[in-house]
Amino acid sequence: MSERRPSVAALSAPMVEALVADAEILRLGVSRSPCGARIIDGGIAARGGIEAGRRIAEICLGGLGRVGIATSGRFPRWGTMITVTTLDPVTACLGSQYAGWSLAEGDFFALGSGPGRALWAREKLYEELGYRDSADHAALVLEVDRTPPDSLVARIAEECGISADRLTLILTPTSSLAGTVQIVARVLEVALHKTHALHFPLDRVVDGIGSSPLPPPAPDFVAAMGRTNDATLYGGDVQLFVTGPESEARDLAEGLPSSSSRDHGRTFAEIFTAYKGDFYAMDPMLFSPARVTVTALETGRSFTFGAFHDEILERSFA
């Protein structure tokens, strides 16, 4: 994939600065780490909120996507929907939003997502995308409930090729309102990641839109993680618009929904507990939306597979 891709760092930078400028009304905390990096607290000591999560999700998309919140009649009780659209779904979702950077030091572990990943760009995925960003600043989103060690913060800046004072880390615990929103806003990214896993050529994905119900946050980590995953696994809806043969669009639609997984049918928390907390023992094909429609642009035909499961969402969210 050799076409020129936009700079997710450049596009998201004004959004990061606006987030900092509005930190007080968004109930966010802003501080500097000992090495000079800017730390935005989206739900650890600060309260955060839904609007903060929506804006953090747009930063995670590298300035190439929009996240909307609106009501829907899809489910009787859980009527608030998070909807994601992008200008460039592959760059926004896989080149920026996907949580692909493993960050560990001592007993601290997190997956980094957002535009800073494209400066580091050491994942194999970036070779396939033919993409690497360049900038003198970086922003990463970490789904954590504590601040990373300062030595790790300094290393992140170094690996991005920037000075520490030009690094912004946005911290959003899974159990927080902001964290819940920014995770559920990955519904389109989840579909694109599985599209990649199914070996469908990413350069044939022209556009996409996705939506998932917004669950209430839960103070317990496993319950919170379960609800944010179940929102997409059993309530998520994605439409992709692709080029190429109609038959291949149909095959993609049939393979994408979460129902194609052996683990489908139980809440995420139940599955996670059954595997004794071993996330990597779970079937990776589970991580996809409940329902998927793929439209073949050459013929205009659309193919829909999968179904919503209100009863599982009720068991998970209630």
- For the segment 116-136, what is each residue's pLDDT rounded down to a tens digit? 999 999 999 999 999 999 999
Contact between residue 135 and residue 21 where contact means Cβ atoms under 8 Å apart:
no
> How much is the average pLDDT of 230-256?
98
- For the segment 192-235, what is each residue's pLDDT rounded down to a tens digit? 999 999 999 999 999 999 999 999 999 999 999 999 999 999 99
CA–CA separation, 40 and 201 (whole Å): 36
Judged against a pLDDT cut of 70, whether residue 42 lies above it is answered with: yes
Print the SS3 string covering 64-129.
Answer: CEEEEEEECCCCCCCCEEEEEEECCHHHHHHHHHCCCEEEEECCEEEEEECCCHHHHCCCHHHHHH
Judged against a pLDDT cut of 70, whether residue 243 lies above it is answered with: yes
> How much is the average pLDDT of 172-179?
98
Q: Which residues pair with 111 in a beta bridge?
A: 102
Judged against a pLDDT cut of 80, whether residue 69 lies above it is answered with: yes
Band of pLDDT at residue 137, cut at 50, 70 and 90: very high
pLDDT in the model for residue 279: 85
Q: What letter does residue 191 receive in the DSSP assignment?
A: H
Q: Is the pTM of this model over 0.85?
A: yes
According to DSSP, the β-strands at 138-142 and 237-242 are unpaired
pLDDT in the model for residue 15: 98
For residue 274 the two structure tokens come to 């059954």
Mean residue pLDDT of the chain comes to 97
Collect contacts of 16-22 with beta carbons under 8 A, ≥24 apart: 16/59, 16/139, 16/168, 18/55, 19/52, 19/55, 19/56, 19/59, 19/170, 20/168
pLDDT in the model for residue 280: 86
Band of pLDDT at residue 44, cut at 50, 70 and 90: very high
**Alpha-carbon dihedral angle through residues 59, 63, 66, 67, given to the nearest 10 degrees:** -10
Band of pLDDT at residue 3, cut at 50, 70 and 90: low
Q: What is the residue whose two structure tokens read 């996907």? A: 98
Print the SS3 string covering 201-222.
Answer: CHHHEEEEEEEEECCCCCCCHH
Judged against a pLDDT cut of 50, whether residue 268 lies above it is answered with: yes
Helix (H, G, I), strand (E, B) or coil at 170: strand
> How much is the average pLDDT of 258-270?
96
> How much is the average pLDDT of 253-267?
97
Judged against a pLDDT cut of 50, whether residue 1 lies above it is answered with: no
pLDDT in the model for residue 4: 79
Helix (H, G, I), strand (E, B) or coil at 28: coil
According to DSSP, the β-strands at 167-171 and 38-41 are parallel
